[in-house]
Structure 1
């Protein structure tokens, strides 16, 4: 009887952790700027999309940013037809602390939304 209860407790704990792990959003802090990644599946299995939205952490407003994906620079484009594989992304804006996302894995048919919240850089731009 005692073994049955411990097995049930283990199964309930395992299922609870599995549900919590699947529901939790990935939230990463790096150099006081942060980002959130949401992954979805597209209707087209032939394309994978990355949509990057950049905001000021303090003002909570949308800001333009310089986006670099695998050493290619973009200034106005925020939706990218990304190939399958791992991608290195960096996001910068004047007067903010930049952010890097290394080894973002993209599979065929993924639709990824990245919300980036850049913090103001306390370092003066010029002397």
Structure 2
């Protein structure tokens, strides 16, 4: 009898833990789209009709922001600077309910590719790309 009560209590505590953790966080990290050179995070926008893809590019070693060139579904975007000459994140407002491919490039850095992620209405996607140094000569 005591064993069955212990099992029931364990099940209830695990269920409560899962419920609380799901209510606390609205942010979700897709483990299948995280690797050593980028991080993709998905948030729910407070405005149900607004979706965005926010892209940041960093030097892999120094973690310094880079003003990279970004391709979203083969459309080119250039990262820009603010009035204080700091690199601004690139914000793209996509057509929703579509798959997207993103490539982030910078001179003398390896291109980071983020393939086939889906954006639904109300999603805000944040991509932090960490570009590793490309030691190949520019001209042979």
TM bucket, shorter chain: 0.7 to 0.9
Tell me what 2:73 maps to.
70
The structure whose Rg is larger is 2
- Secondary structure at 1:51's aligned position in 2? strand
Partner residue in 2 for 1:79: 91
Give the stretch that moved more between structures: 101-110 or 40-49. Answer: 40-49
Of residues 13, 38, 52, the one that matches 1:49 is 52
Structure 1 position 5 matched with structure 2 position 6: yes
What are structure 2's unaligned runs of at least 5 residues?
A: 81-89
TM-score (norm. length: structure 2): 0.70
Q: CA deviation at 1:37?
A: 2.1
Checking the alignment, whether the CA contact within 8 Å between 2:29 and 2:42 is kept in structure 1 is: no
Q: How many residues align?
A: 123
Q: How far apart, in 1, do the equivalents of 2:3 and 2:101 lie?
A: 51
- Aligned-residue RMSD, C-alpha: 2.7
CA distance in 1, matches of 2:73, 2:63: 28
Q: TM-score, normalised by structure 1?
A: 0.76
More strand by share: 1
